[in-house]
Structure 1
């Protein structure tokens, strides 16, 4: 497959994401979309991206996780780049959605996103992995496509939420060590579970805590922990790890939404909802209604 690199969509710690336009599709039965996202890193620094590519392959059967259409190596300005070609999320991330809406999203909309993310997490957990970095920035909105009677692809307004960025995914039960030493905490401070900070313990329960923080942010339009730009990361980590606080759940949500958040934001991971009762979580999420008091 031949493609052309476009504008930069985002930058991470070890890779850059570009818009990619397909110039010549592959000779296969399944045609890729005309636009994709190319996640790229220099070949000599592409080990993490290569691992992420393998993870996308393992999760390719799940419609709630971003699709990967393959990988390749290109030479640009004399340097070799390793690229993985991903589904393009025209709707941006849930963080973008919050920013454009300007406040908390309606519960009916949040319910739809919640269902998709829960199904994606359930798939990841059942495969024996933990995502470790669930947050609004890592959940992307992909256009739904439908076929009309003339077999032409038509866009519909509703967008599907899909889990992206598998760069921090780890095996459940696996201790994060390298040459006999712990690798330290991973993830984004505002969404990290207490046990992950205290014990560097990253199991499926930690993803459910992060999901609770994410859903709370979608509903309020505000980050789960009150802080400003001058608040140091270590201060947030200390509050999460060493106090008995949980993110504040404002009044005004439906009873179902409040109960859902409280079940996710339990400090004791053994009492928190997990993938073992994920069907119950989904059932609860399905009852969310658009009843926020603004």
Structure 2
């Protein structure tokens, strides 16, 4: 267990800004013994969301799955200058940013074999999440982080992050909160006062995300789905199975893991495709990873 499992806030100066979340911002911090971590900080009024995210990360922390690991089991509270009260959680640092960063580095469109390689790991994370009764509710490229892989023949490992809008088992349906996220990724059953959250919500978001990464625009024409962009027949079939209007008819993560689109034997993407945050690539920030 890391010596930083229980953290002392005052010893963790912020080294850089990593990104903006739904209810706060992500910064890079380093412990006195050199461990680099990602710190998510939110205003106190969002503490319930951060506490929920912390519970979910801790629930999966000792399970071998594609979900980001916490580097501390608790939510920390502190008072900033001008009496601003905030709370924060700590997670392992992604040395290669997110799928959004990878897409940007590739010029906005990723090759199909790269998307399939990445989405297979996303599906494995969703399968484990759904098996335990959780729904991510905010699946999008910036919430899928990229880590180095230590498995021979594999380039990278992808993990789900960003659980502040998630639905817990037997928990309330966070329908109103979802519209503060990314409406383009929302499944149709979420809309309206009677909207319900279940695991197919994540599958719909996955389908939209895959089409975007491949440079396609998907339009629901009522009884027919139209694709604008060069998608292969395998990719079209995969996306269609994700964005079926009725949630019961959508494929599950377990089923999609065996879809030919993510099982194509096209090899792993080249190392050059992996993004690296500027704060880590310029050699100024030094430290070890969790």
For residues 23 and 259 of structure 1, do their structure 2 counterparts lie closer, same or farther at Cα, with a shift above 3 Å needed? Answer: same
User: Normalising by structure 2, what TM-score?
Assistant: 0.75
Structural mapping, 1:23-172, within 5 Å: 23-24=32-33, 34-43=35-44, 45-60=46-61, 61-70=63-72, 71=74, 72-74=76-78, 76-77=80-81, 81-145=86-150, 158-171=155-168
Contact 1:138 1:165 in 2 (8 A): yes
C-alpha RMSD of the superposition: 3.1
Change (3 A) 1:82 1:245: farther
Question: C-alpha displacement at 1:62, in angstroms?
Answer: 4.0
Q: Secondary structure at the match of 1:18?
A: strand
Match of residue 213 from structure 2: 218
Displacement, 1:265?
1.6
SS in 2 for 1:120: helix
Q: Which has the higher contact order (CA 8 A, sep 6+)?
A: 2
Q: Shift of the alpha carbon at 1:252?
A: 3.5
Report the CA distance between 1:83 and its aligned residue: 2.2
Match for residue 262 of structure 2? 285
Q: 1:219: Cα distance to partner?
A: 1.2
CA distance in 1, matches of 2:57, 2:164: 10
Could you tell me how far apart the structure 2 residues matched to 1:76 and 1:19 are? 17
Deviation at 1:42, TM superposition (A): 4.2
- 1:6 aligns with 15
Paired residue for 1:262? 240
Does the aligned pair in 2 maintain the 1:4–1:23 contact within 8 Å?
no
When structure 1 is superposed on structure 2, of 163-172 and 204-213 the one drifting more is 163-172
Any idea what SS the aligned residue of 2:26 has?
strand
Aligned length: 252
String of CA shifts for 1:130-185, please: whole Å, max 9, x gaps: 111111121111233579xxxxxxxx9933221110011113675537xxxx7475
* Structure 2 residue 28 is the aligned partner of structure 1 residue 19: yes
Quick one: distance in 1 between partners of 2:229 and 2:186? 23
Q: Which runs of 5+ in 1 are unaligned?
A: 26-33, 148-155, 227-239
After TM superposition, the structure 1 = structure 2 runs for residues 239-254 of structure 1, keeping only pairs within 5 Å, are: 244=222, 248-250=226-228, 252-254=230-232
Q: How high is the TM-score relative to the length of structure 1?
A: 0.74
**CA spacing shift, 1:127–1:90, aligned 2, 3 Å:** same
Where is the strand percentage greater, Structure 1 or Structure 2? Answer: 1
Mapped contact 1:20–1:36 kept (Cα < 8 A)? yes
